[in-house]
């Protein structure tokens, strides 16, 4: 069964408060999302495999640990997911970045894929799918399906704020995908917004309305 990790690090929680605050302007909002993405990347990479190599310090020969070359892919769900990419790349600069775009069909209300561009070696990579908000879970579930259909085997999902409904939906659809969040909020409202949430993440990141 999928595990859900809530990153309650004080720095993450502090920055998240100002991300939520409605008076926070676009520039600061973007910077804070970027910083929280970096801090979350630090936590989410805890299980990265290491190997010993031989090195020489100015004092003696020794063996020391380096990352064992695991290939990573970051997949932002368009468009708000883009706001988390640079923050993750600060810690994992060699990661490849794919994109998945989805829109909601006005009749069925189901997410429909309109854009997918992934690294060519999907089967060899571990993926982190990112979207600031996990609301109903529809987009996350579809994006993860899309990655799996193209051969991805190891996928994590990372977001800033999740609604309980979305967490349950992703866990049920993808029990093999662990979920990493900065805050688990109360509920979804009738318009599909997370309460208390932060509003529309895409609009706040890109200054649109």
Surface-to-core class of residue 43, CB atoms within 10 Å of its CB (0-12 exposed, 13-18 middle, 19+ buried): middle
Tell me whether residue 155 or residue 194 sits nearer to ligand URA (CB atom): 194
Residue list 118-147, contact with ligand URA (CB under 6 A): 133, 135
Cβ 34 to ligand URA shortest distance, Å: 17
Q: Which residues pair with 64 in a beta bridge?
A: 53
131 labelled binding-site residue: yes
Among residues 138, 197, 208, 209, the one that binds ligand URA under rule CB under 6 A:
197
167 contacts ligand URA (rule: CB under 6 A): no
Minimum CB separation of residue 200 from ligand URA in Å reads: 4
Catalytic residue among 176, 200, 204, 208: 200
What's the rounded Cα separation, in Å, for the pair 14 and 8?
A: 10
Query: Catalytic site residue 200?
Result: yes
Secondary structure (3-state) at 119: coil
How far apart (Å, rounded) are the C-alpha atoms in residues 26 and 32?
A: 10
C-beta of residue 185 within 8 angstroms of C-beta of residue 194: yes
Residues, the chain: 209
Q: How many CB atoms lie within 10 A of CB 89?
A: 16
Among candidates 177, 136, 138, which has minimal Cα distance to 158? 177
Catalytic residue at 203? yes
Tell me if 102 contacts ligand URA by CB under 6 A.
no
For ligand URA, the binding residue among 5, 18, 42, 193 (CB under 6 A) is: 193
Q: Which residues are annotated as a binding site for 5-phospho-alpha-D-ribose 1-diphosphate?
A: 79, 104, 131-139, 200
Binding site feature residues for uracil:
194, 199-201
Binding site for ligand URA (CB under 6 A): 80, 133, 135, 192-194, 197, 200-202
């Amino acid at each position: 069964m999928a595990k859900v990790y809530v990153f309650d690090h004080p720095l993450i929680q502090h920055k998240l408060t100002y991300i939520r605050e409605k008076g926070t302007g676009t520039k600061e909002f973007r910077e804070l999302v970027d910083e929280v993405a970096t801090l979350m990347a630090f936590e989410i990479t805890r299980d990265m495999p290491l190997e010993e190599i031989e090195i020489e310090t100015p004092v003696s020969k020794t063996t020391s640990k380096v990352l064992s070359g695991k290939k990573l892919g970051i997949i932002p769900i368009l468009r708000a997911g883009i706001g988390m990419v640079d923050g993750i790349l600060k810690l994992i600069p060699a990661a490849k970045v794919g994109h998945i775009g989805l829109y909601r069909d006005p009749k069925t209300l189901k997410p429909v894929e309109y854009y997918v561009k992934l690294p060519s070696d999907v089967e060899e990579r571990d993926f982190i799918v990112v979207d600031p908000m996990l609301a109903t879970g529809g987009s996350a579930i579809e994006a993860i399906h899309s990655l799996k259909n193209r051969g991805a085997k190891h996928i994590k999902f990372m977001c800033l704020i999740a609604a309980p409904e979305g967490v349950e939906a992703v866990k049920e659809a993808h029990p093999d995908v662990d979920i990493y969040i900065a805050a688990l909020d109360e509920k979804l409202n009738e318009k599909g917004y997370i309460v208390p949430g932060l509003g529309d993440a895409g609009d706040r990141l890109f200054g649109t309305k």
